[in-house]
Structure 1
Amino acid sequence: MKKLPLIQLFLIIALGISILANFLLLNREEQEVDPKQVQLLEYYEIKRNADSLMLSGEYSKALERYQEANSLRPATFSSYVDSMTIALSNDLHDHIALGDRLSNHLKKYQGKENILAKDTLKKKQMISHLELQWDSLLIKHNHHLQLLEEAEGKIAKLELNLHQANKSVLMKTFKNQDGVEVKYIGHTINDQAEGYGYAIFDKKGFYEGHWAHNKRNGKGTYYWANGDIYKGEYVDGKRSGIGTYHFSSGEKYIGGWKNDLRDGEGKIIDAKGKEVASGTWVKDELQKDKTKKKK
């Protein structure tokens, strides 16, 4: 016949004791109150509570209750049960010690787990930040590529325009409507001076400004060999419109012109900057003299 394990034997004994205690509790009112019996009932009650705590796994509380029960244990209690109780108490101490060690290991593990979780969170946050930076750099890179492509397109267009402009800028010699030899360099269309250019007139004067059909047209400046300068408007190679004629003496005329002659409203300023004459000019003659007398 197989022997029952120690723990099962103890539980059977505890169960029997609990049944006996219940029986005694039910009948104690009908019997005379005996202090020893009361002590015994209290002992069984505490033992039963300790058994319940042990079965539910609450070893620390069960040990406390067992110790409390031992303090009330009757002197006639079986020595066999005493030895079982002592053995069980020792087992409980071992279980509690083991539970404490497991609890400490669990706390250490939880601490390491918390540290690992924090470190993992930081790494995830860092990865998210780097991903955002990468996306931002990628957007900027694509934008710069677009700007670069646009710039390359503009450069190609400018190179084409410059190439065409170089073809249209020529140096040529021709005679104007007055038969004067003109050596010209500048923009041309259909082999004629057109646009902006420079010219020497029969080695006696120099012009820079706008041209049309080999003639000075638009704004320009003419320099004579004697030091006189005209800066103003031209029409078909003639001074026409508004212009200023600077004499080499320092005086200047500011006003209207027509066919290379002063025509329209104008005035003369002396070398000191003082106005000395003004009025209406016709074919280079002042019609209404407003000459100011010198003080």
Structure 2
Amino acid sequence: MLGFASAISAQCIKGNCFRGHGTYEWENGDFYEGMWKAGKPDGNGTFYFENGDNYVGRFAEGLKNGQGKYTWKNGNTYDGSWAKDKMNGRGEYYWAKEGAKFNGQFQEGQITNIEIGAPVESPTEFPK
């Protein structure tokens, strides 16, 4: 879940961060640019994490929800369906270092089945 800080430590730096399109920056360096509804990311947007990770896709009530792509600092990616901030539904996970990928179903952030023709060549542990 995206942590929303108080107005003292974070701020809307462009546009409308309550309803509409805006850019919001947190004190820790995270920032979000995209659609807002009721003061939370809702619709299409991009969240840039201070640690170098980023997510481009759909949000609902401040959570990753719908289609989106998460890219970790190390180059790993997940491109697919999200529900309540977790990989959920059909998607593709790519391990950059190994050059391996998995296409299939995810539930609550974990692989739920391994399909023929889509071998897992790396551990099924994902960065948190």
Normalising by the smaller structure, the TM-score range is 0.7 to 0.9
1:228 is aligned to 53
Give the distance between the partners of 2:88 and 2:5, measured in 1 at CA.
24
1:258 is aligned to 83
State the Cα distance separating 1:266 from its structure 2 match. Answer: 0.8
2:11 is aligned with 1:183: yes
Contact 2:32 2:45 in 1 (8 A): yes
1:272-287 aligned at under 5 Å gives the runs 274-287=99-112
1:229-248 aligned at under 5 Å gives the runs 229-248=54-73
1:221-270, Cα deviation, whole Å (9 max, x unpaired)? 11111110101100011000000000111110011001111111011123
Give the distance between the partners of 2:76 and 2:35, measured in 1 at CA.
26
Q: Match for 2:78: what amino acid? A: Y
Q: How high is the TM-score relative to the length of structure 2? A: 0.78
How many residue pairs were aligned? Answer: 115
Output the aligned Cα RMSD.
2.3
Higher helix share: 1
For residues 277 and 229 of structure 1, do their structure 2 counterparts lie closer, same or farther at Cα, with a shift above 3 Å needed? same
1:216 is aligned to 41
Contact 2:13 2:25 in 1 (8 A): no
State the Cα distance separating 1:278 from its structure 2 match. Answer: 2.1
Relative to structure 2, which stretch is displaced further, 241-250 or 269-278? 269-278
Q: Which runs of 4+ in 1 moved over 6 A?
A: none
State the Cα distance separating 1:273 from its structure 2 match. Answer: 9.3
Q: How high is the TM-score relative to the length of structure 1? A: 0.36
Higher strand share: 2
Give the distance between the partners of 2:84 and 2:70, measured in 1 at CA.
14
